[in-house]
Amino acid sequence: MTEMVEVPLHAVAHSRAGDKGNRSNLSLIPYDPALYPLLAEQVTEERVLDLFRHRGATRCRRYDLPLLRAFNFVVDDVLEGGVNASLNLDGHGKTHSSRLLSLTVRVPRALLGRKETGRMQP
Amino acid sequence: MSNTFLVGNGAGFSGDRVDAPIPVVRSLVRRGLPAALFFETLGERTVALAQLERRRDPELGYEPMLERLLEPVLADCFRHRIPILGNFGAANPPAAARLIARLALRLGLPDLRIAVVAGDDVKDSIALDQLPVHEADGSIDTRSARLVAANAYIGAEPLIEALRQGADVVVVGRTSDPALAIAPLAHHFGWRLDDWEKLAVGAACGHLLECGSQVTGGVFWDPGFKDIPDPANIGFPIAEVTAEGGLVITKPEDTGGIVDLRTVKEQLLYELHDPAHYITPDVVLDITGCTLEQVGKDRVAVRGLRGKPAPDTLKVTASFEGSWLGEGEVSVAGPNALARARATADVLLERLRRRGLNVRARVDLIGVASVHDSDDGALWRGYEGPEPPDIRIRLAAEGSDRDAVDQAAREVLALLCCGTAGTGGARWRLTPRILTRSYLVLRERVPTSVTTRTAREIAA
């Protein structure tokens, strides 16, 4: 049986955050495309919303891009009114990507440390 | 007509690295293919700040770094027929054109043709309160708030017209960012403005390039995880586009940074919501069928882009004078820093309450929790980790009463004498805020016009 280990998403995936109004979008991209189905199963809309509930987030929607082996999370009402109203130092929520990557996932040990070098076809 | 056209990007926002365009232009010239260079320097609020600048001085209100960005590349672009397009006109495209004309004369380029695109500024021509609201941030009472700016995101059409008039530099204010790439492509290849598949390629090209280094390693590098060569010299992007809609993202050879599947994926999804429906004034882009392939070192091919008809409406973003923001910071460090920082935070909030200052406030403990925290400090209050060696305490206060906000921020200053043991390094500032709201307007209500003249004519 495959041994599973619990790791922060940061060990197996990368992310970038953007904003529009009071909404944040977060990409999530596994380094190893083989991890795509595993992340699809474990990184749910509910778990991502939970990461941002303390900020007032009300809704999270996940868009799956299986051809790109990537996800796009759209989190509503997470920017305390948006860049023009927020008291947060990071009114754009650009650092949200790092919070997403602190979420833990269980992955097979064998797939750990395998990184997409950029030479792999999607 | 050559089958490949190059699009280079020289800036991804107002405040970007000012020496970035130099290697991009050097690369475009060396490759000798037909090419264009574009600058994206106008964020959502930048045009409002520029409008305030113009109110103070009618010859200002354009991108403050414009001369610094253009001076090293203008002569090369002119000599090699590489048109420059930019939304660096911000709130005052005619004044930006005059600055470029003076620069051109100084560089010995009196025949440089400069186009000014007008029409995006709808502040005085469209009554906003009759339009449907698209998105809003903050709670704005638009009946009492003072309107600073209202600009429509115009599409590629007037920019194409400027290129048709032989412009070497196209100065525009608010435009959709992808239009800055769509325009030179549609002009060069003669793409029709209802050829949605081709325009989708142009929109994707613009979207991938418009944040400059973000597709070549910027906001990407993560030491030990996502390393890039020479992050102090990231090369800004260049796209190779073919008449049939082939698209390859690359960068100048002699620069740092990287173009690979990871950088392109991150930027493809940046600020995107529904991937099947990325709305621009010229086309609705669908990337759900998109695939990427590494086709060489720092070269990624983007395929499978689909386009849907352009919307009937344009987005108008209006900016209003908002409230005041006051910020103050002090530091504590060394033994018992966490307890001192927490106590300082509570005392600051207690001071605002005691003085009855009518402000909305939050405190951050930078080094414990700040950017990920909520306004009530849920993360730093609940923090149970090891003692941080160095903590910066930040108070942010907001309100419509300037004096109350100022007094709140000054409470941080007072900690230099009244604070805990070992409190130091106080800073505070007060800034006016801008609130924005977006509306949708029928595109025929936003007529545009283009005026192209030589530097000599403009400066006369």
Express each pLDDT in A43-97 by its tens digit: 999 999 999 999 999 999 999 999 999 999 999 999 987 777 899 999 999 999 9
Q: How confident is the model at residue B317 (pLDDT cuts 50, 70, 90)?
A: very high
| Section B400-418 average pLDDT | 97
Q: What pLDDT score does B247 carry?
A: 98
Q: How confident is the model at residue B142 (pLDDT cuts 50, 70, 90)?
A: low
10 Å CB burial of residue B246 (0-12, 13-18, 19+) is middle
Name the residue in chain A with its Cα closest to that of B221: A14
Name the residue in chain B with its Cα closest to that of A74: B273
In this predicted structure, the answer to whether residue A121 has a pLDDT above a threshold of 60 is no
Positive or negative, the Cα torsion across A106, A111, A115, A118? negative
Q: CB of A68 within 8 Å of any CB in chain B?
A: yes
Q: CB of B433 within 8 Å of any CB in chain A?
A: yes
Give CA–CA dist B278/B166, Å, rounded.
31
Task: Look up residue B288 and give its amino acid.
Answer: T
In this predicted structure, the answer to whether residue A2 has a pLDDT above a threshold of 60 is yes
First and final C-alpha spacing in chain A: 28
Q: CB of A2 within 8 Å of any CB in chain B?
A: no
Give CA–CA dist B182/B204, Å, rounded.
9
Name the residue in chain A with its Cα closest to that of B317: A21
Express each pLDDT in B227-260 by its tens digit: 999 999 999 999 999 999 999 999 999 999 999 9
In this predicted structure, the answer to whether residue A114 has a pLDDT above a threshold of 70 is no
Residue (of A80, A34, A38, A41) closest to A57 by Cα position: A80
Q: Where are the domains of chain A?
A: 4-111
The domain defined by A4-111 folds into Alpha-Beta Plaits (3.30.70)
Q: What pLDDT score does A1 carry?
A: 65
Give CA–CA dist A108/A88, Å, rounded.
38
- Cβ atoms of B38 and B9 within 8 Å: the answer is yes
Residue (of B182, B152, B184) closest to B84 by Cα position: B184
Residue B258 Cα to chain centre, angstroms: 21
| Section B300-305 average pLDDT | 98
Query: Which residues of chain A lie closer than 8 angstroms to B268, CB-CB?
Result: 68
10 Å CB burial of residue B58 (0-12, 13-18, 19+) is exposed
Name the residue in chain A with its Cα closest to that of B277: A63
What chain B holds in terms of domains, given with CATH numbers, is 4-122+153-311+444-459 (no CATH), 318-438 (3.30.70.100)
| Section B391-405 average pLDDT | 97
Give CA–CA dist A4/B309, Å, rounded.
47
In chain B, % of residues over pLDDT 70:
98
Hey, are the CB atoms on B222 and A79 less than 8 Å from each other? no
Identity of the residue in A55, A67, A85 whose CB atom sits nearest the CB atom of B374: A55
Task: Look up residue B355 and give its amino acid.
Answer: R
Identity of the residue in B270, B288, B370 whose CB atom sits nearest the CB atom of A89: B370
Identity of the residue in A21, A27, A54 whose CB atom sits nearest the CB atom of B137: A21
| Section B367-389 average pLDDT | 97
Q: What pLDDT score does B1 carry?
A: 46
Express each pLDDT in B90-111 by its tens digit: 999 999 999 999 999 999 999 9
Least confident of B39-53, B147-161, B170-184, B369-383: B39-53
Distance from CA of A40 to the nearest CA of B (A): 16
Q: CB of A113 within 8 Å of any CB in chain B?
A: no
Q: What pLDDT score does A115 carry?
A: 55
| Section A1-28 average pLDDT | 93
Portion 79-108 of A in contact with B at CB < 8 A: 79-85, 87-90, 94-96, 98-99
Residue (of B373, B360, B365, B357) closest to B411 by Cα position: B357
What is the ipTM, given to two decimal places?
Answer: 0.94
- Whole-prediction pTM: 0.95
Q: CB of A10 within 8 Å of any CB in chain B?
A: yes
In this predicted structure, the answer to whether residue A122 has a pLDDT above a threshold of 50 is no
- Cβ atoms of B412 and B359 within 8 Å: the answer is no
In chain A, % of residues over pLDDT 90:
78
Express each pLDDT in B412-445 by its tens digit: 999 999 999 999 999 999 999 988 899 999 999 9
- Cβ atoms of A68 and B268 within 8 Å: the answer is yes
Hey, are the CB atoms on B375 and A85 less than 8 Å from each other? no
Identity of the residue in B271, B378, B379 whose CB atom sits nearest the CB atom of A18: B271
Portion 297-316 of B in contact with A at CB < 8 A: 304
Identity of the residue in A10, A96, A118 whose CB atom sits nearest the CB atom of B262: A118
Q: What pLDDT score does B137 carry?
A: 54
In this predicted structure, the answer to whether residue B114 has a pLDDT above a threshold of 90 is yes
10 Å CB burial of residue B231 (0-12, 13-18, 19+) is middle
Residue (of B209, B255, B204) closest to B40 by Cα position: B209
